[in-house]
């Protein structure tokens, strides 16, 4: 019985340390996994990432190397450009597919001095 108490204390300490580590790193590991998966997926589907400046706003986007007509794919509120990659794969070889992160989403930032009318012009 004397041996089991120290062993129990070590097991409890190890469990507590693991729980603290998992709590601290889970968001980082999840974000890293998502980013690596998204990059691999977009590469496989013929999309490459670019940074462009539109009306003074730096934007991140995916663009395909297709030579046909252009297709602009816009994501909805609280999404980012990665939601369109699987759909864009059907068009990326035959069309110019452009998938931007709109302001305040994904890799395109947002500044408080930007007006909504300015942001609306970015999409138009």
Structure confidence by residue, pLDDT tens digits, 25-35 = 888 888 888 88
Judge residue 89's burial from the number of C-beta atoms within 10 Å of its C-beta, 0-12 exposed, 13-18 middle, 19 or more buried: middle
Q: CA–CA separation, 50 vs 44, rounded Å?
A: 16
What are 24-83's pLDDT values in tens digits? Answer: 888 888 888 888 999 999 999 999 999 998 877 888 999 999 889 999 998 888 889 999
> Is residue 40 domain-shared with residue 50, that is, in the same domain?
no
pLDDT in tens, 89-124: 999 999 999 999 988 888 888 777 776 666 666 665
pLDDT value for 5? 77
Work out whether the CA dihedral 88, 89, 94, 99 comes out positive or negative: positive
pLDDT of residue 118: 63
Residues 37 and 50 in one domain: no
Number of domains in the chain: 2
What one-character DSSP code corresponds to residue 105? Answer: S
Look-up: residue for tokens 């690596």? Answer: 36
Residue carrying the six token digits 């496989």: 44
Find the CATH number of the domain harbouring 102: 3.40.50.1820
Do 16 and 59 fall within a single domain? no
For residue 100, give its domain range: 46-124
């Amino acid at each position: 019985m004397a041996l089991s108490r120290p062993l129990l204390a070590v097991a409890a300490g190890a469990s507590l340390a693991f729980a603290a580590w998992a709590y601290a790193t889970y968001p980082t590991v999840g974000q890293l996994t998502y980013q690596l998966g998204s990059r691999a997926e977009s590469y496989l589907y013929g999309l490459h990432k670019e940074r462009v400046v539109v009306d003074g706003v730096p934007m991140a986007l995916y663009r395909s190397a297709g030579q046909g007509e252009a297709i602009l794919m816009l994501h909805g509120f609280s999404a980012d450009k990665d939601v369109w990659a699987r759909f864009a794969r059907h068009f990326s070889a035959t069309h110019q597919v452009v998938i931007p992160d709109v302001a305040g989403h994904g890799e395109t930032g947002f500044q408080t001095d930007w007006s909504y009318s300015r942001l609306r012009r970015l999409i138009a």
